[in-house]
Amino acid sequence: RRASPLDPCTTGSAVPRALNDDLCWLSVVGSIARPPPAGIVLGPCPVGSAGRRRGGELGCSVCRKMASHIVGYPRMGPKRELKFALESFWDGKSSAEDLEKVATDLRASIWKQMADAGIKYIPSNTFSYYDQVLDTTAMLGAVPDRYSWTGGEINLSTYFSMARGNATVPAMEMTKWFDTNYHFIVPELAPSTKFSYSSHKAINEYKEAKALGVDTVPVLVGPVSYLLLSKAAKGVEKSFSPLSLLSSILPVYKEVIAELKAAGASWIQFDEPTLVKDLESHQLSAFSAAYAELESALSGLNVLVETYFADVPADSYKTLTSLSSVTAYGFDLERGTKTLELVKSGFPAGKYLFAGVVDGRNIWADDLAASLATLQSLEAVVGKDKLVVSTSCSLMHTAVDLVNETKLDDEIKSWLAFAAQKVVEVNALAKALAGQKDEAYFAANAAALASRRSSPRVTNEEVQKAATALKGSDHRRATTVSARLDAQQKKLNLPVLPTTTIGSFPQTVELRRVRREYKAKKISEEEYTNAIKEEISKVVKIQEELDIDVLVHGEPERNDMVEYFGEQLSGFTFTANGWVQSYGSRCVKPPIIYGDVSRPNPMTVFWSKMAQSMTARPMKGMLTGPVTILNWSFVRNDQPRFETCYQIALAIKKEVEDLEAGGIQVIQIDEAALREGLPLRKSEHAFYLDWAVHSFRITNCGVQDTTQIHTHMCYSNFNDIIQSIINMDADVITIENSRSDEKLLSVFREGVVYGAGIGPGVYDIHSPRIPSKEEIADRVNKMLAVLDTNILWVNPDCGLKTRKYAEVKPALTNMVEAAKQIRAELAKAQ
């Protein structure tokens, strides 16, 4: 298009590339193939074509048709490089420059990887130091007043204070991202919130990629989804809707768009995942209004609106596909089979379809033949030149790269695809759609799928029969919760407002070293057992000194609350580096459930009995519930999820009964992820909640009335499923409350009667901030305004694994002192 210096081709060809071109020399600009500049020798086709080009032209039909896209990519790095850089920075051991160097290197490697794989539409601005919604809050300058931000570009100090809190103010609320195990920072908005362009991250990362020779698609959280995911700030909850601020945030979006256009962006992606939810008419109208208002700013850009995680309802589909400013629509066709039918029944002429056929939320190899058939059926609907092969959602919800795996055996490894392999799958499908099918690759994929279907290690007939037999009962305990609580109190003799913690205590460097050396066989089993026993003894002593009423053993033997159990259950396998971001720097390594599940041997009884022998106080046996194990694993996709959940429930049931037989009087079965698995569409809620709650009840239906069953839930919105929580029939539930501004208490203010024990969290453990005794006492008094004294427990929001002892001890001291103070006040008032 213009005479300019040439730099190396980004696809790896020997053909140079014009700095200002948005298509490489081997492709077609519009429909006109361009001849090479004089003296340039053609290299091999970078996409694997035979290299034949019409009449000396550089463009060929293969390059023109091969359209592939990735919604987003994991941020942490293949070996959690970002996690360690963040934690080093937070601990004051490294500088902001050191952190940025790690981040810059990670971004460059991700962009290069996708470019080398042949991906055409490569995303930028999907990297984050903490969370993409928090990044949008920073972009809009929507900083709550308590952080004392005075304007200008938001720095790391303000950014991380919003995410994590600091010594003087608490963090913003954190909750689950739709039905995933990722957590986002919830924006706090009010009528008085002022918006200004305060973080230039999107434009900076676009320019950064472009300097590396990669022309990317900048990704922004869409304006309507941002507001629908926001909450009204404290004090205006009942009188204010964040969506009313739409006209106030759009000017900032216009500024961002203008900068991206000026920098040479030709595409922009707006993530609007709330379109898959059940929306009211005024919310749908907001999408129409927003993109109509942005239309002039978007002129000259190709605009992709991306949705994911579920079907797009028919009314939302109609609204979305009628937006004149939008060029392309991205749909999750893995979880959105009904959306596929909507597309086939009517798709706007001249628009692009970004077809999410490769699953971004699981680790199983794609059924390439089936996906190709789906894509070919869509070609006839949208047109060959308007179909783009994509992932169903961002790949941040899956592990990074199978190449790094050393623990998996070859058979199971052949069944899998992590993020890096899914990029290759996307490109392979795009090539096949363009007539360049890699027959060997497709044949290997078909063979792996056949191997998985026929493998004897997948099926256990005895387990399947036991799970099938469960369907004849609702597995409720024989007596009411009030009768059980009376029997338990006679045995446990707990004070009013009993104190406890949620389970884990700090995982020190020394503790991790012991577990690591034991796994590597560098220390003996006796040495390992003695080290863990010593740690348990320390944790028990700390709790007794603090005068906590119901103790925990601290879980020093556990690497993760799901992985620990999966390692001892059949049907599970594990990775060495299959890490997935949960929030901030926190990563989890989900087990892979590949077959039928059973419990060969007791899993926790030895450690629980040891801990109970060290104290006269009640010691909780700590288990992870079946629904949480399911939702925090990569689950087999060859049978319904509820069938796998029932199998896990039977395994946990055996463990519960063995703990009871071993003298453990209080058993906690965590269901932290029960709410997380709730489908996004209300029409699907009842079926999920029925089998999920049933699975929990299966685990403890056989215990005596005097055995107290606890459960725990964290960091989600529980108000809409409170009746299902009651239906779980647990004796005591501990539940996150403090970080969400005591949102949970509102359900009891509205008249819900809860007769079981309940412990709404009194302080946020995901912040290093230490709450005062007065602050905790104030929270407890607010709880007593809506809950009976005889059912209320006092506890933190969640487990203490991620905190340091220097934070834990004073916080728990203040918690216990606050409980004692209020007990004394209650006694005086009698």
Rounded-to-integer distance, Cα 142 and Cα 105, Å: 29
Q: Could you tell me which residue, 376 or 739, shows the higher pLDDT?
A: 376
CA dist 422 and 113 (Å) reads: 12
Residue predicted with more confidence, 66 or 96:
96
Q: Mapping DSSP to helix (H, G, I), strand (E, B) and coil, where does residue 472 land?
A: helix
CB count in 10 Å sphere of residue 790: 10
pLDDT of 739 reads: 67
Question: What is d(CA 264, CA 459) in angstroms, rounded to the nearest whole number?
Answer: 54
pLDDT band at 8 (very low <50, low <70, confident <90, very high): very low
Q: Does 790 score more than 90 pLDDT?
A: yes
Task: Write down the pLDDT at residue 776.
Answer: 96
* Angle, helix 337-345 to helix 368-382, in steps of 10 degrees: 30
Asked if residue 193 has pLDDT above 50, the reply is yes
pLDDT tens-digit series, residues 172-184: 999 889 999 899 9
pLDDT tier, 767 (very low <50, low <70, confident <90, very high otherwise): confident
Which secondary structure element, helix H or strand E, spans residue 735, and what is its range?
strand 732-735
Q: pLDDT at position 15, please?
A: 39
| Portions of the chain given CATH number 3.20.20.210 | 64-120+327-456, 131-203+219-325, 477-568+603-829
Question: To 10 degrees, what angle do helices 805-829 and 773-784 make?
Answer: 50
- Tokens, residue 678: 């709730």
Bridging pattern class, strands 732-735 and 757-760: parallel
pLDDT tens for 667-676 read: 999 998 898 8
**Residue 107 near residue 75, CB atoms below 8 Å:** no
Report, as residue numbers or ranges, the catalytic residues: 766
What integer pLDDT is reported at residue 742 of this predicted model? 65
Q: What mean pLDDT do residues 76-87 have?
A: 97
Q: What is the dihedral of CA 795, 801, 804, 806, to 10 degrees?
A: 30
What tens digit of pLDDT does each residue of 233-243 get?
988 988 899 99
3-state secondary structure 149-208: CCCCCCCHHHHHHHHHCCCCCCCCCEEECCCCCCEEECCEECCCCCCCCCCCHHHHHHHH
What whole-number distance in Å separates Cα of residue 600 and Cα of residue 568? 8
pLDDT at residue 64 is higher than 50: no
3-class DSSP assignment, residue 330: strand
Angle, helices 525-546 vs 605-612, to 10°: value is 50
How far, CA to CA in Å, does 572 sit from each of 352, 412, 560, 593? Answer: 40, 11, 14, 5
pLDDT band for position 337 (50/70/90)?
confident
Q: Which of 729-733, 743-747, 810-814 bottoms out in mean pLDDT, i.e. has the lowest?
A: 743-747
Residues 458-481: tens digit of each pLDDT: 999 999 999 988 877 889 899 999
- What average pLDDT does this structure show over 356-368? 97
* Beta-carbon contacts of residue 29 (< 8 Å; ≥ 6 apart): 1, 21, 23, 59
pLDDT at 741: 62
Angstrom distance (rounded) from CA 132 to CA 153: 17
Q: Are 639 and 452 in contact (CB under 8 A)?
A: no
Look at residue 810 in the predicted model and tell me its pLDDT: 97
Q: Does domain 477-568+603-829 have CATH number 3.30.300.180?
A: no
- pLDDT at 208 exceeding the cut of 80: yes
Mean pLDDT of all residues in the chain?
Answer: 90
Query: Is the confidence at residue 695, as pLDDT, over 50?
Result: yes
pLDDT at position 42: 44
Q: What φ, ψ does residue 596 adopt, rounded to 5°?
A: -65, 145
Q: Please report, in angstroms and rounded to a whole number, the separation of the first and last CA atoms in the chain.
A: 87
* Nearest residue to 722 (alpha-carbon basis) of 740, 695, 747: 747
Is the pLDDT at 666 greater than 50? The verdict is: yes
Beta strands in 671-713 (DSSP E): 708-713
Which runs of E-coded beta strand occur in 64-125?
122-124
pLDDT band at 754 (very low <50, low <70, confident <90, very high): confident
In this predicted structure, what is the pLDDT of residue 158? 97
> Which residues, at least 6 apart from 331, have a Cβ–Cβ distance to it below 8 Å?
307, 312, 339, 340, 343, 353, 354, 355, 356
Of 47-61, 253-267, 301-315, 451-465, the range with the lowest mean pLDDT is 47-61
CATH class of 131-203+219-325: alpha beta
Cα dihedral 174, 578, 651, 540 sign: negative
pLDDT value for 56: 31
Flag the least confident range among 261-270, 498-507, 762-771: 762-771
pLDDT tier at 55 (50, 70, 90 boundaries)? very low
Q: Report strand pairing: 174-176 vs 183-185.
A: antiparallel
Q: What is the DSSP letter of 551?
A: B
Per-residue pLDDT of 590-625, as tens digits, reads: 999 999 999 999 999 999 999 999 999 999 999 999
**pLDDT for the residue numbered 49:** 40
Kindly report, residue by residue over 16-53, the tens digit of the pLDDT: 343 333 334 333 333 333 444 444 444 444 444 433 33
Q: How is residue 353 annotated by DSSP?
A: E
Model pTM score:
0.87
Higher pLDDT, 813 or 751: 813
Measured CA to CA, the distance from residue 73 to residue 217 in angstroms comes to 13
pLDDT score for 232:
94
Write the DSSP symbol of residue 416: B
Percent of the chain exceeding pLDDT 70 equals 91
DSSP secondary-structure letter at 299?
Answer: T
Tens of pLDDT along 477-520?
999 999 999 999 999 999 999 999 999 999 999 999 999 999 89
**CA gap 622, 612 in Å, rounded:** 12
In DSSP notation, 529-544 reads: HHHHHHHHHHHHHHHH
Backbone angles phi, psi at 425, to 5 degrees: -60, -45
Q: Are 815 and 763 in contact (CB under 8 A)?
A: yes
pLDDT of residue 5: 39
- Exposed e or buried b per residue across 254-292, where buried means at least 16 C-beta atoms within 10 angstroms of its C-beta: bbbbebbbeeebebbbbbbbbbbbebeeebbebbebbbe
Q: Is the pLDDT of residue 534 over 80?
A: yes
Does the structure show a pLDDT above 70 at 364?
Answer: yes
Q: Give the right CATH number for 64-120+327-456 from 3.20.20.210, 3.30.465.10, 3.40.50.1980, 3.40.1280.10.
A: 3.20.20.210
Q: Tell me, what's the pLDDT at 740?
A: 65
Please name the residues in contact with 589: beta carbons below 8 A apart, sequence gap of 6 or more.
560, 563, 574, 575, 577, 578, 579, 580
538-548 mean pLDDT: 98
Which three-class secondary structure state does DSSP give residue 389?
strand
Cα distances (Å, whole numbers) of residue 618 to 281, 498, 560? 53, 11, 24
pLDDT in tens, 366-404: 999 999 999 999 999 999 999 999 999 999 999 999 998
